[in-house]
Amino acid sequence: MEKRITQDDVIYFVVTDRFFGRDKRTVAESDTSIHGGTLDGVIEKLDYLLNLGVTAIWVTPVYENIPKAGTTEPYHYYWPQNFERIDSRLLEGTHLPTSTDIASFGVFVDKCEARGMKVVLDMVVNHAGYGAKERFGSDWFNSGGTGDIKGELSGLPDFNHDKPQVLDYFINNIEEWITRGKVTNIRMDTVKHVEKKFWHYFKCQIRGKYPDVCLIGEVLCEGKEDIGTLLQYQNYHDFDSIFDFPLCTALRSTFIYDESLRYWLARPRLNDNEPQGVLDDDNPFKGGYRNANGLVTLLDNHDLQRRIMSHARTKHPGDGAGLDWAIRVTKLCLGALFTMRGIPQLYYGTEIGLEGWKAGDDRDLRRDFPWNVLGTNNHPQPKFKKEHEIFEWTRDLIRLRKANEALKFGTTITLWADDLVYAFLRISSDDVALIIINNGYERMPVPLRVGLNPDQVPQRFVTMVANELEHWQTRLPLQVDNGQAVLTVDGKTIDIYCRNA
C-alpha cells in the first residue's frame, strides 16, 4: 500500500489518551490526569475507523513525557523529557511490545498498515516539558526571549535551533523515528515557533535522504490575513502540506455564524474590487499556495476554541428545533469539508457530534470518546439521534469522496458567490462535480449560469460540464435551459451533483 499521505486520504486525528484503552479509567471529564487511552487501544478500534471510511490515523506524540506539572498529567503527551523513548503509559495492552524503544512504534505502524490504515505521528522539536531543561543543558534553550520564535510557548522550555548541537540532535532523532519507528508521515507541532534554520536543515538532510517522508506543518494562524504566513512554509520551506486554519475559520464564520460567503470563501470573479476570499488564494501563478489541493482541511481540533458541534449549539441552543438546526449546520460544514479542495481531517468524535470547548484550559475540548453510543455494528445506535445522524452523513460523504476523482484531485472553479449562495465546480481530467450551498434559512430557487468561458478554462472542461448537466437532469431535480441551471435548495443545505453518487 501507499504509505505516504496523498489527496486520496481522509485523516482521523485522536488524542490517544482520550480515545480508547482496555484499562481506561472512569474519571470525570474535567479531570486532568491520564485516562488510559493507548496505542493498543487505537489498534483495537481499527474496525470502527475502517467502517467510517477514514484512511489514515494521526496520533498525538508518543515521546516519554514528564510525570506531571503541578496536578496536571501530560495526557496529551506534548511535554517530552526524552525524545528517544516511547512513554510506557502508551504501551499498556497486548498488541504491542512493552519496550519503550523507538522500534515498538514501528510495530504499531506495521499493524495499522496491515489493515490498510496509514499512520501520521505528531512530533515536537520546539520545546521540552516543564522542568526538563536539566536533561539537555540550559545552553540548548532560548532564555528571556519574546515573540513566536524566541519566546517560551505557555512557559515551556524553548529549544534554540540556531545552536548547532540542537539542530544536529533533532535531525538525527527524526531520522531514528523514520528508520526504526517506520514513520512516513510527520505532523510537526508549533512550526511557526521554531527557528527558520531548522526547516532548511530538514529540507536538505531529511527530505533529500527520505523523499517518501510527508511533512505536514501546524502553523496556527486562523485569519484570511494570515495566508501569507502559511504560504511560506509550503512554498519556501518545502512542507508537503499545511493545516488550512483560514478555511476552517471561513467555514465556521459563514455556515454557523451567518457571515457573508463571498467575503470569506470566494468572490464571484465579476468585479476585481470584490474582497478576496480564502479560496481566491489558491492560484500559485498569483502568489497563492503551491498546491492548495494538498492542504489539510479541518473543522476543529484539540487546540481551537470549540468543537464544531459546540459552535453550532451556541448558535442554536436548546433541544427540539435548536438541536435540529445545530445538526443541520454541522452537516453543512461537513459537506463543505468533504467537497472543497484539500485533504480532510476529522477530529475524533466530530463524526458523531461530540461537543467540547475551552474553559480556562483544554480538558473539555479533549473529552473521552463516548463508546457507549455505538452498537455492535460500529454504528451509533438510532436512539442517539445526533450521533447517529451525523455519523451516517459523514460516512456517506467519505464514500462519495472516494468514488469521485473530482472531489479528490479536481480544480476548483467558482461559478457564483453572494452573501447566501456559493456554487462551484470540481473538475479533474475525466470527472466533474457541481456543489451548491444555500447558507440562508429558507428554501430558495437558485438561478445559476453554468456556462464557462473557454478563454479561461479548456474547451474540454466546457464540453464535460455541459454533458454532465444533461446527465444529471435525467435523474435529479435540475432544470437546464441555454446554460442556465435552476435549482431549488433548502436552507442551510449543500447539494452535491457527482457522476458516482
Within this chain, do residues 68 and 147 fall inside the same structural domain, yes or no?
yes
* 1 found inside a domain: no
* 294 found inside a domain: yes
* 357 found inside a domain: yes
Alpha-carbon separation of residue 426 from 198, 240, 247, 276, 386 (angstroms): 37, 22, 17, 20, 30
Regions in the chain scoring below 70 on pLDDT: 26, 29-30, 267-276, 285, 447-457, 470, 472-485
Q: What is the pLDDT of residue 175?
A: 98
Query: Quick one: CA dihedral 400, 406, 408, 414, positive or negative?
Result: negative
Within this chain, do residues 348 and 419 fall inside the same structural domain, yes or no?
no
3-state secondary structure at position 52: helix
Quote the CA–CA distance of 35 and 368 in Å, as a whole number: 8
Structural contact between residues 13 and 301, judged by C-beta atoms closer than 8 angstroms:
yes
User: Which residue among 350, 382, 407 closes a domain?
Assistant: 407
Return the C-alpha cell found at 500. Answer: 458516482
Within this chain, do residues 417 and 368 fall inside the same structural domain, yes or no?
no
User: What residue has cell string 511535554?
Assistant: 79
Identify the CATH number of the domain in which residue 440 sits.
2.60.40.1180
Number of CB atoms found within 10 A of residue 496's CB: 20
Q: What is the pLDDT of residue 270?
A: 46
Q: What is the pLDDT of residues 241-295, one digit of tens each?
A: 999 999 999 999 999 999 999 889 886 554 455 556 788 778 776 778 899 999 9
* 3 found inside a domain: no
Within this chain, do residues 403 and 470 fall inside the same structural domain, yes or no?
no
What's the domain count of the chain? 2
Within this chain, do residues 471 and 351 fall inside the same structural domain, yes or no?
no
User: Which residue among 390, 407, 424 closes a domain?
Assistant: 407
Within this chain, do residues 21 and 167 fall inside the same structural domain, yes or no?
yes
Within this chain, do residues 326 and 436 fall inside the same structural domain, yes or no?
no
Within this chain, do residues 386 and 305 fall inside the same structural domain, yes or no?
yes
Identify the CATH number of the domain in which residue 129 sits.
3.20.20.80
* 21 found inside a domain: yes
* 6 found inside a domain: no
Within this chain, do residues 36 and 86 fall inside the same structural domain, yes or no?
yes
List strand residue ranges (DSSP E) for 332-490, in order: 343-347, 411-417, 421-427, 432-438, 444-449, 479-481, 484-489
Its domain, for residue 350, covers 11-407
Q: What is the pLDDT of residue 296?
A: 99
User: Which residue among 380, 407, 434 closes a domain?
Assistant: 407
* 5 found inside a domain: no
Quote the CA–CA distance of 249 and 247 in Å, as a whole number: 5
Within this chain, do residues 432 and 399 fall inside the same structural domain, yes or no?
no
* 474 found inside a domain: yes
Number of CB atoms found within 10 A of residue 136's CB: 17
Within this chain, do residues 165 and 97 fall inside the same structural domain, yes or no?
yes
Structural contact between residues 101 and 46, judged by C-beta atoms closer than 8 angstroms:
no
Within this chain, do residues 145 and 179 fall inside the same structural domain, yes or no?
yes
